[in-house]
Amino acid sequence: MRKISLFIILISMSCFSQNKQLLYNFTSVPQSMLTNPGSDVNYNWFVGIPLLSGFSANVGSSSFSVYDLFANNGVDFNTKLRNVVFSTSRNDKVTLNEQLEVFSGGFKLGDWQESSYFSFGMYQEMDVLTYMPKDYAILALDGNKDYLGKVFDMGDLNARGELLSVFHLGYHKKVNENLILGVRGKIYSSIFNVSSTKNSGYFYTIQGTNNVYDQVISANGLVNTSGLTNYLENYSGNAQSDIMKKTLLGGNLGLGLDLGFTYYPKENLQFTASLIDIGFIKHTKEIESYRYKGYYNYVGLTPDFVLGNSNDILDEFNDAIPLDTLHTKYTTWRPLKFNSSIQYSFGDGRSSDCNCSGGNKIKYANSVGAQLFAMTTPRTPLMALTAYYRRQIFESLEMKATYTVDSFSAKNIGLGLSTTIGKVNFYILADNLLEYKDISKARSLGFQMGLNIIFPDKNTFD
């Protein structure tokens, strides 16, 4: 039970770094095409088992773990909370990303001499990223009494969350022996979106002269929401049916593009790179935004003994910094992901009795490489560097081991296995394996698995 609630907590506060370092370039898994449309993936045709072909979840927090807050160690919860808040910075983040492939498939175009492929599918994605609202947390824990002179940064509120479905169609082609180019078009249908990423303003209290304090609030805050208005007030519809409609292109729509390539300068040397989710969503339906903007220098009550025209401080405040509810369209950009890798392969992986003349798929049993990942965020981009080793253990079993350094962890070891027995491909990938010995202390966890049916590519005539 404890683990289930832990899991729920992890999911609900989780940080999905979106770095799929195990899946990237793991070409025996068709879903690796979602991380690079120009992956060197070959098939005659494949189909993902609906809802089981691709599931991935990442949870993470750059500054604290579940253990830090909820350890049953006799320390008062409020002390632990204070320790967490005061040990984090405003740039620490909590992110969650979950993807569930609803359906997917692909087929080769033309005959055996051709080498261009179509792939398509639809997946649902949840994406949450929130920065630590540190100055707000300090105000909630301590108030301003002991912070005279401190300028509280209202920009510390920076969060976004979205649930969307993605329909995609990709094409990749072996342009020549050394180069594979790929492109994928996407249509996004946003089920709901909340974003508040461009807040600014400040609040300070200092010793005053004519007043006890000089107190100033300058606020410029905006929270955009779409797809939620129906549920905020008396909702009488069928939420399940609503979400289904929004999933099937009935939500707020957007367009996106993935680009990628694989290049072999030499037979055993490989470069890859991709840009994923160059795209935007236009929010035009069920939109409601809240704006909080203004400047207020608070002096308190000012009695007027001559004319009796004294001030009303609540009115004054509400006039100076009104809270407006708006219904204006807005556009959000999808988090743009950049992946690249370099890989060197060695060792003869062909079984000795094999006289196969074509196909270089199992030519090398071992590969080592490095990957770089970057993703845009409302502040500085997330970066991750990975070193990896890939090995074809049997013809039907491929393994990839990774070591990743990023802002969540400096010792993230991951392992992925992909097995193809007959036509059935099963893969399971998990990172931060060291943390599984005490999962409550993990700051991030990533997990992916899926099931496909693959009819292998035939590049000989038969």
Residue span binding other proteins (CB under 8 A) among the ranges 3-11, 114-122, 273-281, 402-410 = 3-11
Residues 47-66 binding other proteins (CB under 8 A) are 50-52, 55, 57, 66
Give the nearest distance from C-beta 270 to other proteins in angstroms. Answer: 30
How far is it, in rounded angstroms, from Cα 59 to Cα 414? 14
Give the nearest distance from C-beta 65 to other proteins in angstroms. Answer: 10
| Residue 212 interacting with other proteins (CB under 8 A) | yes
Give the nearest distance from C-beta 444 to other proteins in angstroms. Answer: 14
Burial grade of 203 (CB within 10 A; 0-12, 13-18, 19 or more): buried
Give the x-and-dash track for 155-194 against other proteins (CB under 8 A). ----------------------------------------
| Residue 374 interacting with other proteins (CB under 8 A) | no
| Residue 399 interacting with other proteins (CB under 8 A) | no
How far is it, in rounded angstroms, from Cα 19 to Cα 111? 36
Residue (346 or 436) nearer to other proteins, CB: 436
CA atoms within 13 A on the CB side of 172: 28
Binding test (CB under 8 A) with other proteins, winner from 236, 352, 410, 437: 437
Binding test (CB under 8 A) with other proteins, winner from 9, 370, 387, 415: 9
How far is it, in rounded angstroms, from Cα 92 to Cα 351? 50
In what helix (H) or strand (E) does residue 46 lie, and over which residues does it extend?
strand 45-48
Place of tokens 């909080």: 292
Helix 134-142 / helix 77-87 crossing angle, nearest 10 deg:
140
Give the x-and-dash track for 223-262 against other proteins (CB under 8 A). -----------------xx--xx-----------------
Residue span binding other proteins (CB under 8 A) among the ranges 194-202, 354-362, 404-412, 434-442 = 434-442
Give the nearest distance from C-beta 343 to other proteins in angstroms. Answer: 28
| Residue 149 interacting with other proteins (CB under 8 A) | no
Backbone dihedral angles phi then psi of residue 246, each to the nearest 5 degrees? -70, -35
Listing DSSP states for 303-361 in one string gives: --TTT-----HHHHHHHHS-EEEE---EEEEPPPEEEEEEEEEEEE-S-TT----S--T
Number of neighbours of residue 86 by Cβ within 10 angstroms: 12
Residue span binding other proteins (CB under 8 A) among the ranges 5-13, 90-98, 157-165, 334-342 = 5-13
Give the nearest distance from C-beta 179 to other proteins in angstroms. Answer: 37
| Residue 308 interacting with other proteins (CB under 8 A) | yes
The SS3 call for residue 12 is helix
Backbone dihedral angles phi then psi of residue 179, each to the nearest 5 degrees? -135, 130
Closest to 34 (Cα-Cα) out of 119, 128, 161: 119
Residue span binding other proteins (CB under 8 A) among the ranges 40-48, 73-81, 322-330, 392-400 = 73-81
Binding test (CB under 8 A) with other proteins, winner from 153, 257, 447, 453: 447
List strand residue ranges (DSSP E) for 113-251, in order. 116-131, 151-153, 159-176, 179-196, 200-207, 213-226
Residue span binding other proteins (CB under 8 A) among the ranges 17-25, 181-189, 202-210, 281-289 = 202-210
Residue (266 or 437) nearer to other proteins, CB: 437
Number of neighbours of residue 242 by Cβ within 10 angstroms: 18
| Residue 415 interacting with other proteins (CB under 8 A) | no
Q: What is the DSSP letter of 197?
A: -
How far is it, in rounded angstroms, from Cα 343 to Cα 367? 6
| Residue 300 interacting with other proteins (CB under 8 A) | yes
Give the nearest distance from C-beta 163 to other proteins in angstroms. Answer: 15
| Residue 360 interacting with other proteins (CB under 8 A) | no
| Residue 103 interacting with other proteins (CB under 8 A) | no
Residue (100 or 375) nearer to other proteins, CB: 100
How far is it, in rounded angstroms, from Cα 195 to Cα 333? 11
Residue (86 or 436) nearer to other proteins, CB: 436
Give the nearest distance from C-beta 292 to other proteins in angstroms. Answer: 18
| CA 68 from centroid of its chain's CA atoms | 23
Backbone dihedral angles phi then psi of residue 282, each to the nearest 5 degrees? -95, 120
What sign for the dihedral angle of Cα 349, 396, 55, 168? positive
How far is it, in rounded angstroms, from Cα 46 to Cα 40? 15
Cβ 384 vs Cβ 406: under 8 Å: yes
Give the nearest distance from C-beta 76 to other proteins in angstroms. Answer: 7
Backbone dihedral angles phi then psi of residue 153, each to the nearest 5 degrees? -95, 115
Give the nearest distance from C-beta 218 to other proteins in angstroms. Answer: 17
Binding test (CB under 8 A) with other proteins, winner from 89, 169, 441, 460: 441
Residue ranges binding other proteins (CB under 8 A): 2-7, 9, 50-52, 55, 57, 66-67, 69-73, 76-78, 80-81, 100, 139-146, 148, 205, 208, 210-213, 215, 240-241, 244-245, 298-306, 308, 310-314, 428, 430, 436-441, 447, 449
